[in-house]
Copies of this chain bind each other. A is one copy, B any other.
Amino acid sequence: MATIKDVAERAGVAPSTVSYVLSGSRKISEQTAKAVHEAIAELGYHPRASARTLRSARSEVLVLAVPREPGKYRAMDGRFAIEISDAARGHGYDVLMMTEPDGVDGLRRIARSGLADAAVLMAVREADPRIAALREFGFPTALLGHGDERDETEVPWVDLDWEAAVALAVRECVAAGHRHVVFWASAEHEISARRGYAMHGLDGARRAAVETGADVRVHPSTADPELLRARLREVLGARPAPTALVVQHLIPLPLILDEIAALGLRVPEDLAVVLVGSLPDEHALFAFPRIDLPVSRMATAVVQLAVRAIGADAEPGPARHELMSPGMAPGPVVAKPSPSR
Contact = CB atoms under 8 A, between A and B. Distances in A.
Nearest to A44: B112
Interface in A114-170: 114-115
A75 interface: yes
A20 interface: no
A20 to B, nearest CB: 19
Contact of A114 (B50, B79, B252, B253): B50
Given A73-B79, A79-B73, A96 B61 contact: yes
Interface string A283-307: 1101100000000000000000000
A85 interface: yes
A47 interface: yes
A268 B297 CA distance: 41
A287 to B, nearest CB: 7
Contacts of A75: 75, 78-79, 279-281
A66 interface: yes
A317 to B, nearest CB: 23
A284 B96 CA distance: 29
A120 to B, nearest CB: 12
Contact of A51 (B47, B54, B94, B225): B54
Interface string A216-236: 000000000100000000000
A113 B46 contact: yes
Nearest to A252: B283
Number of copies: 2
Nearest to A45: B112
A95 B96 contact: yes
A114 B46 CA distance: 9
A33 interface: no
Contacts of A49: 50, 53, 59, 113-115
Contacts of A286: 225, 254-255, 258
Interface of A: 1, 44-51, 53-54, 59, 61, 64, 66, 68, 73-75, 77-79, 81-82, 85-86, 89, 94-100, 106, 109-110, 112-115, 225, 251-255, 257-258, 279-281, 283-284, 286-287
22 contacts: A46-B113, A50-B54, A50-B114, A54-B54, A61-B96, A64-B97, A73-B280, A75-B281, A77-B78, A77-B82, A78-B81, A78-B82, A81-B97, A85-B97, A85-B98, A85-B99, A89-B106, A252-B284, A253-B284, A254-B257, A254-B284, A254-B286
